[in-house]
Structure 1
């Protein structure tokens, strides 16, 4: 009655003086998606289920991001700076979701190495842009709520846009070595085949 961890369905896999590793049979697929132990997915059925969960989540996200963008653009809600920042963030997340949804289809062409590299490049870029705009949203909130009486910053959105769309970072990464992006295997199935990505 005082709260705590639910031990139903859990067992001790190994233990020593420094750590105890437990296994449970009631974790969700989300826990597998965020598995930091980097254990490979060994079941083709499990990989298929996780893929469908990903497609459904990214698809719904893309739909509602599109609705948000269309609402802001259609009703001219884009006049103030918070709205402009939100539009940029929604656009970045929408493009990230669209590239993520399309990359499985593009993976059907394993001979097109350039296509694989460019898809990975766009995924990296739009993920970086999404995080950057989230950070800029926080910076703007700081200026709006904490530094209320500060001076007006000239070309505020232009400066935010230069920081928010950081093309230089991914250009440097691909200029150093184009093989930083490319085909990788993230698992081997029990039938001996691998799932290359």
Structure 2
């Protein structure tokens, strides 16, 4: 468990160290990095910090993203297989698959691009990135934003949930009955006996208007 936690926070930890290092430097260092990035945007990926450079941070971030997506894939498949007959669930499944696929493609292309930058174009990859086709990563990034922000606006039912069947757990018969408690049915015999003796003492049964209603009222 501890190893998994270290793997999760490792990119963040390295990034915090390098960011703090840059901001602790004299203003000239930070201004130089910023000015070079504005003059030549493609050169900003070649900047090096204390531990890692921008290329290494870029690679590490997307490798971590790709690993998390692969780990989540079995859970996504398990979720998709549930309640597939409902139209709302099918719509949610399509959106989820589009979102996951776009993130995977973005991370894969970003990893290939960062590896090519680190090896100075010496690594043979399926797609050779340069100033023009590296915009594919940016396009995928905007597709991710589109899938998370714009699509739910037009398909508001995505976040309204879908009908789910709840499994009922049948309790054993008699499980809710306390064996120590005494079940009482019918009349309170001790109370009726006391009221009956009182009725006899008062000799109410000898009165002319005595009937069943009067007897029940006196015994109750």
Q: What is the TM-score of this pair, normalised by structure 2?
A: 0.39
Q: Answer 1 or 2: which has greater strand percent.
A: 1
Structure exhibiting the larger radius of gyration computed from Cα positions? 2
Q: Answer 1 or 2: which has greater helix percent.
A: 2
Q: What is the TM-score of this pair, normalised by structure 1?
A: 0.43
Structure ranking higher on relative contact order (CA contacts 8 Å, 6+ apart)? 1
